[in-house]
Amino acid sequence: GQNIDQPTEMTATEGAIVQINCTYQTSGFNGLFWYQQHAGEAPTFLSYNVLDGLEEKGRFSSFLSRSKGYSYLLLKELQMKDSASYLCAVRHTAGNKLTFGGGTRVLVKP
Amino acid sequence: GAVVSQHPSRVICKSGTSVKIECRSLDFQATTMFWYRQFPKKSLMLMATSNEGSKATYEQGVEKDKFLINHASLTLSTLTVTSAHPEDSSFYICSAQGTSGRARGETQYFGPGTRLLVL
């Protein structure tokens, strides 16, 4: 089976940094995605990691350790518009399906 | 990035009626489309996987006769909720995956979602 855990909620201040952790247990691992979802909207793609290490894209970075079943999404220089849910999703080799974690709601305060 | 549209964005219907939701990939060919359901403040739950020209593969617990999926072309998939009941009220989101156009092969691109309310 698959099990993906991430914190339910985090609060941070505008301009600060926040790190969202995601741990997973799965068979047939074929990559990990991070998506951003604003309330009532569809998820938008942020990052994809399939190899160990850090992927940096502007203010957002994502890290993966396959041996530890662990990933994190790092958001730097937080802006008010970054208030959203951040979804960790594991891709499986069987059928390219994604299994999503419960999502982490990030609230950015002034 | 690649764009996926979904129509309608919002629908209200009476109990017992059927509702069709369309999902289109606008600037790439979607070899695979996925249908998800999301309850308030919950994560996405995969309902089914649809490959162009073949029958959809449903996840355990999802009734194939209630949620009819058709993937007739490389840019269109439809989900029909048959004989809808209030418990079917939810946010339905499709995603598409392909290797042409602006799509990265490993990434699912999501539509804007359809909010269904069954009275």
For chain B, list residues with pLDDT below 70: 1
Taking the Cβ of residue B98 and every Cβ of chain A, the question of whether any pair is shorter than 8 Å is answered with no
For residue A108, report the phi and psi dihedrals to the nearest 5 degrees: -100, 125
Q: Cα separations (Å) of B42 from A4, B37, B93, B106?
A: 13, 10, 13, 24
User: Is A97–B34 a contact, with Cβ atoms under 8 angstroms apart?
Assistant: yes
* Nearest chain A residue (CA) to B10: A40
How far B33 CA lies from chain A's nearest CA (Å)?
A: 10
- For residue A98, list chain B residues with Cβ-Cβ distance below 8 A: 34, 46, 108
Confidence of residue A41 (pLDDT cuts 50, 70, 90): confident
The answer to whether residues A104 and A11 touch, using CB atoms and an 8 Å cutoff, is no
Within a 10 A sphere around the Cβ of B112, how many other Cβ atoms? 15
- For residue A41, list chain B residues with Cβ-Cβ distance below 8 A: 112-113
- For residue B112, list chain A residues with Cβ-Cβ distance below 8 A: 41-42
Q: Cα separations (Å) of A53 from A26, A80, B12?
A: 19, 28, 46
Q: What is the pLDDT of residues B67-88, one digit of tens each?
A: 999 988 989 999 999 999 999 9
| Alpha-carbon gap, residue A91 to A46, rounded angstroms | 15
Taking the Cβ of residue A35 and every Cβ of chain B, the question of whether any pair is shorter than 8 Å is answered with yes
User: Is B42–A97 a contact, with Cβ atoms under 8 angstroms apart?
Assistant: no
- For residue A50, list chain B residues with Cβ-Cβ distance below 8 A: 106
Find the mean pLDDT for residues A37-42.
Answer: 88
Taking the Cβ of residue A42 and every Cβ of chain B, the question of whether any pair is shorter than 8 Å is answered with yes
* Nearest chain A residue (CA) to B113: A42
How far A24 CA lies from chain B's nearest CA (Å)?
A: 15
How far A44 CA lies from chain B's nearest CA (Å)?
A: 7
- At B31 the pLDDT is 87
Confidence of residue A14 (pLDDT cuts 50, 70, 90): very high
Confidence of residue A1 (pLDDT cuts 50, 70, 90): low
